[in-house]
Amino acid sequence: MYTPDLVKKLQHETSQWLAGKKMHGPVETLRDLLRFHEYRYYVQNDPLISDFEYDTLYKQLEQYEKEHPGSVTPDSPTQRVGKGLIKDFPKVQHLVPMLSLDNSYNADDLLDFDRKARELSGLDSIEYCVEPKFDGASISLIYEHDLLSRGATRGDGEIGDEITPNIKQIRSVPLSAKFSDYGIDQVEIRGEVLMTKNNFKAYNDALMEEGLPPLANPRNAAAGSLRIKDTAEVGRRNLEAFLYHVSYVSTGKKPSVPETHSAMLEMLWNVGFRSPKKEMKVLKGIDAVIGHVQEFEKQRDDLGYEIDGMVIKVNDLKLQDKLGMTSHHPRWAVAFKFKARQGTSKLLSVEYQVGRTGAVTPVAKIEPVQVGGVTVSSISIHNEDYIREKDLKLGDTILIERSGDVIPQIVKSFAELRTGAEKKIKFPTHCPVCDSELYKPADEAVWRCVNINCPAQIVEGIIHFVSKDAMDIRSFGEANVRRFYELGFLKDIPGVYTLPWDEIRKMDGFGEKSIAKLQQAIEDSKKQPLHRVIYALGIRYVGETTAKTLANAVEHLLQFTDYSEEQLQQLEDVGVKVAKTVYEFFHNKNNIQLLRELEKRGVQLNNEKKNLATGGNLSGQTFLFTGTLAKLKRSAAEELVEQNGGSILSGVSAKLNYLVVGEDAGSKLEKAKKIATIKIITEDDFLKLLG
Ligand code: IVH
């Protein structure tokens, strides 16, 4: 238990080690320090030292253990490191079967649950402990004599898969925990492994960038990650674990095992677990419980992870025993399920959309269904492989899910509900817009229309050009681009600057006021900074960050015609893939012609800002932000970097100087830790750098 005095002592010890004064102190104190800082970081979310300082301590321990291999203990912080591949997950029996929970959906269900519990117990009012129902993959852990001895999946409830090496990759699961302080020799505990919303989004973004289909929800991501056979990869997924139930204890002499569930959660917290101690609430009587769960549902989206309800547990453990279980669920607990973010629907037809890069995306039209408060009637089904993997057929009944702020996904199709009338989805061989033959490189999952004159690509390209993050021509919008294109008023990107206003004036919905507004917005866009122009061009793989790097490299955009692929790769954050597409773009005469046209019509291709920003506090330094910042918005922080002469990279690489870490930092942090030259700093450190 980390009391304030102990924390002070450990912090003092930390400084001593970091100052090199204790380089030869007893190695177990160094391990204790590392365990303490892991706990502060991963369990309490409140680190006391920087990542760099943690790494310094960790390296000292690694070095010591290398020189004294006999000294390594099974719960040494170095023993999390994944070694090689797991062959198979052995089957193991849980000490106590992992039962499921009965569900409730409204106040009446809860009143019912409470009435039965009161009848069985003979009490007038019952004390409950209410906690979140974590939406992840359930696990069971065994600790023997304070050491983690086994981690397993739920399996069928009786028998699960042993996944101990993967469990050790979860930093919020301690390798040892002082259950002995409570007189406990052996304990089996239950919990849920989660992927935070931020990590899930980053993980899905990375999949999609590779042209791979995203996962439907963080629960599937967590469950899948636990069964990966490459342990090191499990570590990279940044999983978290909440432990919420003690299912078995065996005690030695003088046991002092808690007598309520809430005290159990306190105990788990005290010995080093991320239990829902802070999220739980002890309430007397079911009315208070009903009020609380309804209130908590409103905060669901503010949490960094997904929950699908609350669990209401009788707090007194003796009373729990008295109430007992059915064969399926305990009578002392019930799950209160929040409004579903899943729904079933029917896959009616598939339409194919051609994007600005020519990528053909199948979009399923489905029977409209309410999912988490919005009506979903069409849903991307990504690519041909995805259709095959999910075994989708026209006419299928499908399960839809909308997790947090992620776009809706198909979870699965119900093959067992097929009638035989379902039809195979046939991917087109030709572009649905211009009818050119589609093409798919062997190593990609996406079919493309490669006709550069394909109307769909032109229109999508113009829509992107005028969009908010690009040239930001506010009142233009997608609908006007399509309308003007169909009427022949707008044929290409430069055409944005030579619209036939006399014709447009004659159209419905275009009064003098709206025309003046649109004209002004178009005029204003000519002065957009160069990085916006670059981004607006829609060069493949050039996002907003890369566009800024490119803009900072030149005084005039056409200077890129003199750059070789190798020279482009010298730029911070520009890898082989980006260099190739940028090189190709600036060596295509149609594109050069387009740029000259734009310039002729007044669009600024000069880099006005260049040189202005050099000499700032951050001059020449590269930055990347990860996690949620507390004081600044991410976009504002990035702008500050640029205003002070620094630049933003889009990923972690050896070219990065600073990684600024906010809350719930994900894989970028893990990656950065492996590159010694990157300085990992907090938001406050960053503000100090700015002066
Ligand atoms: S208690 C014997 N508490 O929900 C009772 N379960 O639908 C053990 N779950 O199988 C379960 N959060 O995987 C409990 N705070 C929580 C939970 C929780 C999520 C999961 C668990 C269980 C499932 C039942």
Q: Are 15 and 9 in contact (CB under 8 A)?
A: no
- Whole-Å CA distances, 562 to 143, 303, 524, 557: 64, 50, 30, 10
Instruction: Say which residues have a Cβ less than 8 Å from residue 172's Cβ, sequence separation at least 6.
Output: 42, 43, 240, 241, 273, 274
Question: How far is 177 from 148, CA to CA, in rounded Å?
Answer: 8
Average pLDDT over residues 401-429: 89
Please check the confidence at residue 57 and state whether its pLDDT lies above 80. yes
0.75 surpassed by pTM: no
Q: What is the structure's pLDDT at 611?
A: 45
- pLDDT band of 523, cuts 50, 70, 90: very high
Please check the confidence at residue 69 and state whether its pLDDT lies above 60. yes
Backbone angles phi, psi at 101, to 5 degrees: -110, 150
Segment among 165-174, 193-202, 509-518, 636-645 with least mean pLDDT: 636-645
- pLDDT band of 339, cuts 50, 70, 90: confident
The CA radius of gyration of the chain, in Å to the nearest whole number, is: 29
Q: Is 131 in the pocket of ligand 1 (CB under 6 A)?
A: yes
Q: What is the pLDDT of residues 466-505, one digit of tens each?
A: 999 999 998 899 999 999 999 999 999 999 999 999 999 9
H or E stretch at 76: none
Q: Is 311 in the pocket of ligand 1 (CB under 6 A)?
A: yes
Please check the confidence at residue 609 and state whether its pLDDT lies above 70. no
Q: Are 490 and 476 in contact (CB under 8 A)?
A: no
Q: What is the structure's pLDDT at 140?
A: 97
Question: How far is 447 from 439, CA to CA, in rounded Å?
Answer: 5
Question: How far is 616 from 641, CA to CA, in rounded Å?
Answer: 9
Q: Is 335 in the pocket of ligand 1 (CB under 6 A)?
A: yes
CB atoms within 10 A of CB 88: 8
Tokens of 608: 């006005």
- Whole-Å CA distances, 29 to 25, 32, 33: 8, 5, 6
Please check the confidence at residue 614 and state whether its pLDDT lies above 60. no
Question: How far is 148 from 400, CA to CA, in rounded Å?
Answer: 38
Residue 192 CA to ligand 1 center (angstroms) comes to 8
Which protein residue's CA is at the shortest distance from atom 7 of ligand 1?
101
Please check the confidence at residue 247 and state whether its pLDDT lies above 70. yes
CB atoms within 10 A of CB 285: 14
Residue of 21, 133, 281, 298 marked active site: 133
Residue 101 CA to ligand 1 center (angstroms) comes to 6
- pLDDT band of 84, cuts 50, 70, 90: low
Go through 25-36 and write b for each residue having 16 or more CB atoms within 10 A of its CB, e for each that does not: eebeebbebbbb
CB atoms within 10 A of CB 257: 16
Atom of ligand 1 lying closest to residue 330 CA: 2
The answer to whether 133 is a known catalytic residue is yes
List, in sequence order, every residue forming a beta bridge with 139; answer none if it has no partner: 153, 191
Residue 311 CA to ligand 1 center (angstroms) comes to 7
Tokens of 301: 């989206």
Q: Are 545 and 573 in contact (CB under 8 A)?
A: yes
Instruction: Say which residues have a Cβ less than 8 Å from residue 115's Cβ, sequence separation at least 6.
Output: none
489 HSE (CA, 13 A, CB side): 17
Average pLDDT over residues 354-382: 92
